[in-house]
Structure 1
Amino acid sequence: MEEIGSRAQVLPAPPRVVWRSLAVPDEPGTRPWLAPGLREDEVVPQVLEADEPHRVVWSTLWPHRPDDRIELAVEASGAYDTRLRFTHLTPGPLPPPATVGHLRRRVNHLLFADLRFSYGQ
């Protein structure tokens, strides 16, 4: 697998909450964060693997890239925060640099803006 991108940031919620947000995005009773932020060419990913509370693997967000995967690693960072790392992988050759940049930005925005803001910060 080739790495399209990877980034980590700290989110203002405990690991069990972040893990649940990733494993069951837009769960009833929570603030929706994933589906409302998707663009026309994006879809809600399927959860392919889930190891509570440490790891979630999503299918692609882009139907035109059906074999891509997004690995999400969750770990405690302080008493109430979580360090979340995404790693976007593809089994094929890397796309052109402009596409790589776009894919990285979108995953980054969904996780570190939309998800973060769903926690109120």
Structure 2
Amino acid sequence: MDVVASRLNSLPPPAWVVFDDLADPLQHNGRPWLMLLDGETIPTTLVAERPTLVVWSSLWASRPDARIRFDLEGPMDASVRWTLMVDPPIPGDEEMRRMGTRIGDLVFANLRYTYGQ
């Protein structure tokens, strides 16, 4: 698998709270955040090593090979790095930008808003 995009940002709760939300995105405890668009599928959690690592299967039906890795750290605000990996052929720049923007929107917008920010 090739790494095609990666971003680092922070979220307000500790890493273990973010881990729980990413490891089971449908268990939202009254805070739904994984709102899928047309052509997207519910990701399966492939790896979950509490509280530092979560790996999802693809969000996109058109790219079932894609994997999204979340590396987490921080006892207070969580430092969250997502990394998008795909098998060749590598998507074009526009598709990579769209995929990366979508991951960012889900995690650093939708999920962030559920924490009151």
Q: With structure 2 as the length reference, what TM-score do the two structures score?
A: 0.95
Q: Within 1, Cα distance between the matches of 2:30 and 2:19? A: 13
TM-aligned CA deviation for residue 28 of structure 1: 4.9
> What does residue 75 of structure 1 align with?
73
The structure 1 segments of at least 4 consecutive aligned residues displaced by more than 3 Å after TM superposition are none
1:104 aligns with 2:90: no
RMSD, aligned α-carbons: 1.1
Aligned residue pair count: 117
Instruction: State the AA in 2 paired with 1:114.
Output: N
TM-aligned CA deviation for residue 93 of structure 1: 2.3
TM-aligned CA deviation for residue 26 of structure 1: 3.0
State the secondary structure of the residue aligned to 1:114.
Answer: helix
Deviates more, 1:6-15 or 1:20-29: 20-29
| Identical amino acids, percent of aligned pairs | 40
Instruction: State the AA in 1 paired with 2:68.
Output: I
Any stretches of 5+ residues in structure 2 without a counterpart? Answer: none
Any stretches of 5+ residues in structure 1 without a counterpart? Answer: none
> What does residue 15 of structure 1 align with?
15
Instruction: State the AA in 2 paired with 1:41.
Output: G
TM-aligned CA deviation for residue 30 of structure 1: 3.5
Q: Give 1:45's match in structure 2, choosing from 43, 46, 62.
A: 43
1:119 aligns with 2:91: no
State the secondary structure of the residue aligned to 2:55.
Answer: strand
